[in-house]
């Protein structure tokens, strides 16, 4: 199991002179990471977090990341949309090609009033009849759904 370690974050923050406390963008894609952890304590100022193509099964430990604007969790093992209520600034969420089957979990994003772009294509929930209508009715502020 690959963990998010301080060493890994520092390695990926060379553009910021390896200072992680003031990082605004972090790319940890294709690292075989299974769990989101520590980032809300080390990198609270993140605006962009790229975690696509990992093995993450649950959205968690992001509740203190109030400046996060873009979260990419595409190509993971996520089954439920949850635990994003603390991401007050979230504008773009990419959950493409996961295992989200429960369409009602979209309702968890109602509190993310700045969310304008949502990508769910490739998830089982998109196969439901009335999928687009339900998401748009639930999140009327969206400008883009699945591109």
Instruction: Grade residue 12 by pLDDT with cuts at 50, 70 and 90.
Output: confident
128 is a domain residue = yes
Over residues 124-135, the pLDDT tens digits come to: 999 999 999 999
Q: CA of 83: how far to CAs of 15, 44, 50, 105, 108, in Å? A: 29, 16, 17, 11, 8
Q: Whole-structure pTM over 0.85, yes or no?
A: yes
93 is a domain residue = yes
136 is a domain residue = yes
**β-pair type (117-119, 25-27):** unpaired
The domain that contains 85 carries what CATH number?
3.80.10.10
39 is a domain residue = yes
In which domain, by residue range, is 137 found? 6-145
1 is a domain residue = no
12 is a domain residue = yes
65 is a domain residue = yes
95 is a domain residue = yes
Whether 14 shows a pLDDT value over 80: the answer reads: no
The count of structural domains within the chain is 1
């Amino acid at each position: 199991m690959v963990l998010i370690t301080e060493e890994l974050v520092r390695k990926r923050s060379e553009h910021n002179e390896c200072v992680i406390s003031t990082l605004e963008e972090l790319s940890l894609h294709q690292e075989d990471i299974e769990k989101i952890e520590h980032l809300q304590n080390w990198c609270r100022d993140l605006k962009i977090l790229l975690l696509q193509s990992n093995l993450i099964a649950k959205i968690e430990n992001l509740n203190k990341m109030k400046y996060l604007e873009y979260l990419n969790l595409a190509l993971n093992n996520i089954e439920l949309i949850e635990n994003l209520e603390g991401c007050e600034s979230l504008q773009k969420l990419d959950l493409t090609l996961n295992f989200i089957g429960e369409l009602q979990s979209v309702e968890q994003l109602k509190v993310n009033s700045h969310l304008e772009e949502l990508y769910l294509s490739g998830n089982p929930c998109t196969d439901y009849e009335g999928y687009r209508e339900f998401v748009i009715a639930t999140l009327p502020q969206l400008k883009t759904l699945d591109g």
